[in-house]
Amino acid sequence: MAYKVRFVDPAKNYRMIKDEIDAAYFEVMSKGDLIDRGQLKRFEENLAAFVGVKYAVGLNSGYDALHMSLRAAGIGAGDEVIVPSHTFVASASAIVNVGARPVLVDVGKDFNIDVEKIESAITPKTRGIMPVHLSGYMADMVRVMNIAEKYRLVVVEDACQSLGSSMLGRRAGSWGLTGCWSFYPFKILGGYGDGGAITTNDPEVALFATRMRYNGEDRQSGEYHGHGFTCLLDNLQAAFLDIKLAHLPRWIVRRKEIAERYRAGLSDLPDLLLPHYNDPRRDHVYQNYVVRSKQGDAFSDYLKENGIEVLIQFRKPYYRHEALKLEDSGFPETEALSREVCSLPMNVELEDAEVDYVIRTVRAFYGK
Ligand SMILES: *Cc1c(COP(=O)(O)O)cnc(C)c1O
């Protein structure tokens, strides 16, 4: 079906910055700069500066960033890591794949880990907390860091959905031991394929990741410093991402404008909960505009039938997927929101007229 309003429109986004992207492509290709060259280094420097940390290390994916961070922290067999029950599955998979056990904690009304429930999940085996900043809005990192300090826990921020967001003026990904980033095409900073990074202020973590992403090798001396991985961010992707990073501040402004347009057009509907929270310390960059409709599938189906491409993340919580062998110890908020979530189109390619069409369609569903 041809949608009237696309959830994201990567081809249109490319047309918006085509001259810059094409120039970067020709430069990289004509020089043959494919692996670990200047474009990667430049992007890492610019990303670190944007997040407000000393180091950024480009990796293959957000998953790799999470996995690498847990490895760098020495977390493994016998350890427990606290993670929210509502997140993308990769957060928990990274914990399982280093041999540790994810301990799930329910989320609050803002879709992020409920900080009131963290302490009761801590056991003598707990080594870390992995808060996830979902949809462009940070978890309450002031509370998370206080708890981590009190119990001497490592904090790995899954910031994959929240590049550019902040709390008390301090950016996501600059609070924990590492911030983990994904440049999957549909993230707020998306490449043209997979990509990721960690950000950190810890020189040893940065060095560890720089070696381990390249099979453990020190590229200067040729010495192997451990059994590593192959998960280096491609130089070509880094060149593209660096261009898009320069546009990001402006694109975030546009996302906030669209969110305000949705708010103005939809906030009077009692069965619809919008993602606007009143915590003046935190700002929302709207990687996703996730509403909760009491009508669940009937709501999202109606939008699709009317030509609006929406995303449902996630009807079935990840811990309910049997093969993952995770414990469902009861997560009422996750269960409730899973029945109701629906992400409306949110991207910088959207025209105001398209946003207005979404608003009219939602209002029509509610008979307004
Ligand atoms: C996208 C995402 C990841 C994984 O990123 P990939 O680059 O796809 O591996 C992890 N956590 C969250 C919250 C994400 O949104």
Query: Residue ranges per domain, the chain?
Result: 10-106+113-243, 248-365
Pairing assessment for the beta strands 126-129 and 166-167 based on DSSP bridges? unpaired
List pLDDT tens digits, range 2-20: 899 999 999 999 999 999 9
Intra-chain end-to-end CA distance of the chain, in Å: 26
10-106+113-243: what CATH class? alpha beta
What local confidence, expressed as pLDDT, does residue 278 receive?
86
User: Residue 160: which of 186, 180, 190 has the closest Cα?
Assistant: 180
Q: Tokens 């490895």 belong to which residue?
A: 71
Instruction: Kindly provide the residue ranges of all beta strands, DSSP E only, lying in the chain, ordered along the sequence.
Output: 55-59, 80-84, 101-105, 126-129, 154-158, 166-167, 170-171, 178-182, 196-200, 272-273, 282-283, 289-293, 341-344
Question: In this structure, which residue's CA is closest to atom 5 in ligand 1?
Answer: 62
Q: What is the pLDDT of residue 229?
A: 97
CA of 94 to the centre of ligand 1 (A): 11
pLDDT at residue 1, rounded to an integer? 64
90 CA to middle of ligand 1, Å?
6
From 180, 184, 239, select the one nearest 46 (Cα to Cα).
239
Cα of 77 to ligand 1 centre, how many Å? 23
88 lines ligand 1 (CB under 6 A): yes
What's the CATH number of domain 248-365, 3.40.50.720, 3.20.20.80, 3.90.1150.10, 2.40.40.20?
3.90.1150.10
* Residue 90 CA, closest ligand 1 atom number: 10
Report strand pairing: 196-200 vs 178-182. Answer: antiparallel
What pLDDT was estimated at residue 2?
Answer: 83
Q: Which residues of the chain have pLDDT under 70?
A: 1
Which two structure tokens, joined as six digits, stand for 158? 């899954």
Domains 10-106+113-243 and 248-365 share a fold: no
Tell me the CA–centroid distance for residue 361 and ligand 1, in Å.
Answer: 30
